[in-house]
Amino acid sequence: MKAKFINHASLLLTSKCNKYLYLDPWILSTAFSRWFQDPPANAQDILDICSLNRDDITIIISHGHDDHLDEFIIKSSIFRNCSIIIPQLETKGLKRRIERLGCKKIIEVGEQAIEHNGFLIQNLINKEFTGDDTIFLISDEEHLLIHANDNWHRYNKTLLSQIEMATSRFREDSIYYLVQLGIADAFPYSYADIEDQECEKIARNRYLNYSQTINDNARQMCFKKIYTYANESCYNSKIHRMCKNSKELRQEVLDANKEMQ
C-alpha cells in the first residue's frame, strides 16, 4: 500500500493491484460557510486523481463534517458514479446527505472489516465521545493505516482494545497512526469579547492539551509512526482583531455574519 498526503485530512491510498482510496476530500467548497483551504491542495495532485479510472477509485468519508466531505467534489460528474464508503452509524443523516448528491454506490462499514479492491477496511467509533467522529483502519498484507481524523481525544478501554486487536498482526514499523491536530471551531478567535492576549493563551492551552492526549493515546497503543495532519485552512470572519472596543467589535461580527448568511 502506498499513501500520498493530498491536503487537510485527505489522503490517496494505492493498493498493489492499482486500486485507489481517496479519503475525506475537501478541495473547493467552504466548510461551515466560512472555513476554507489555505494553502489550497496542489492542483496537479487533484488533476491526477481526477484522471484515474472511475472503476478503480473509491471515496471514503470518515464523518459528516464539511471539511471531510466536499459536496462539490462528491456530486461532480467525475466522482458521482464512484463507490463511497462511509461509517455504519446509528443515524442515517450522512448516508442521506450523500444520496442527495446523486451517489448510488454507498457502502457502510462498521466494526466488522470488509475487503474492497485489495484493502481490508474497518471502522471504529468511540460512542462516549460524539458518536459520529469515526476512525478508519485500512490495511493490506503488510501495512496498517489508522485514519483517526478528529479523534484526538483520550480513547477509552473499549476503543483501545479494538485497535489493539486490529494491530496485533502487524509489526510496529508497519503501523501508521494519523490524527488531526488543530483548532477547528474558531474558538477563541471568533469571539469578540476575548482580548488578543487571552486568545493566545486559550489557543496555546488547547494545542498543548491536544498534543498531550495524542501522545498518551499513541503511547498506550505503542505506536512508533505518528503523523498529525489537517488545519491547512483559514477562518474567514472578516474581522481584524485590532479594535479594542468590544461593543464595536461585536457589531462588526454581527454585520459580517449577516453578509455571509
Per-residue model confidence (pLDDT) at position 250: 46
Per-residue model confidence (pLDDT) at position 239: 40
Per-residue model confidence (pLDDT) at position 231: 73
* DSSP three-state, residue 195: coil
Which pTM was predicted?
Answer: 0.86
Per-residue model confidence (pLDDT) at position 179: 94
Per-residue model confidence (pLDDT) at position 203: 82
CA angle 240, 25, 5 (to 5 degrees): 90
Residue 225, judged by CB atoms within 10 A of its CB (0-12, 13-18, 19+), counts as middle
CA torsion, ordered 36, 228, 76, 56, to nearest 10 deg: 170
Per-residue model confidence (pLDDT) at position 245: 40
Per-residue model confidence (pLDDT) at position 249: 43
Give residue 253's identity as a one-letter amino acid code: V
Helices (H), strands (E): how many in the chain? 6, 14
Per-residue model confidence (pLDDT) at position 261: 42
* DSSP three-state, residue 136: strand
The whole-angstrom separation of Cα 102 and Cα 112 is 27
| CATH of residue 159 | 3.60.15.10
| Domain total in the chain | 1
* Closest residue by Cα to residue 136 from 157, 122, 125, 126: 122
Per-residue model confidence (pLDDT) at position 192: 73
Domain range enclosing 19: 2-260
Mean pLDDT by 10 residues, the chain (261 residues): 94 96 92 79 93 95 94 91 95 95 95 96 87 92 96 92 95 95 75 80 86 92 92 54 41 51 42
Per-residue model confidence (pLDDT) at position 131: 76
Per-residue model confidence (pLDDT) at position 232: 67
* DSSP three-state, residue 233: strand
* DSSP three-state, residue 109: strand
Per-residue model confidence (pLDDT) at position 253: 46
Residues in the chain: 261
